[in-house]
Amino acid sequence: MEGADPARQPRRTTQEAPVTEKDAAIAELQQAHDRFRDQIADLPDSAYSESFLGTWNLSQVLAHLAGWYGEITPGFSRVARGERPTPQGVDYSDADAWNARFSAQPVPGKGALASFDAAYADYLAAARALDASFYGSDAESGRPRIGNRLLQGAGVHHFEEHGPEVEAWLRGRHA
Total domains present in the chain: 1
**60 in a structural domain:** yes
d(CA 134, CA 145): 6
2-10 long-range Cβ contacts below 8 angstroms, 24+ apart: none
What is the domain range of residue 140? Answer: 21-30+46-173
- What pLDDT, on a 0 to 100 scale, did the predictor assign at position 175? 64
**Contact 102/63 with Cβ under 8 angstroms?**
yes
**65 in a structural domain:** yes
**122 in a structural domain:** yes
E-assigned strands of the chain? 51-53, 56-57
**64 in a structural domain:** yes
d(CA 94, CA 137): 26
- What pLDDT, on a 0 to 100 scale, did the predictor assign at position 8? 47
- What pLDDT, on a 0 to 100 scale, did the predictor assign at position 109? 96
Stated pTM of the model? 0.87
**3 in a structural domain:** no
Q: Which of 141, 162, 143, 144 is nearest to 33 (CA)?
A: 162
**13 in a structural domain:** no
**130 in a structural domain:** yes
Q: What is the CATH number of the domain that holds 160?
A: 1.20.120.450
**14 in a structural domain:** no
pLDDT tens per residue across all 175 residues of the chain = 444 444 444 444 455 556 689 999 999 999 999 999 999 999 999 999 999 999 999 999 999 999 999 999 999 999 999 999 999 999 999 999 999 999 999 999 999 999 999 999 999 999 999 999 999 999 999 999 999 999 999 999 999 999 999 999 999 987 6
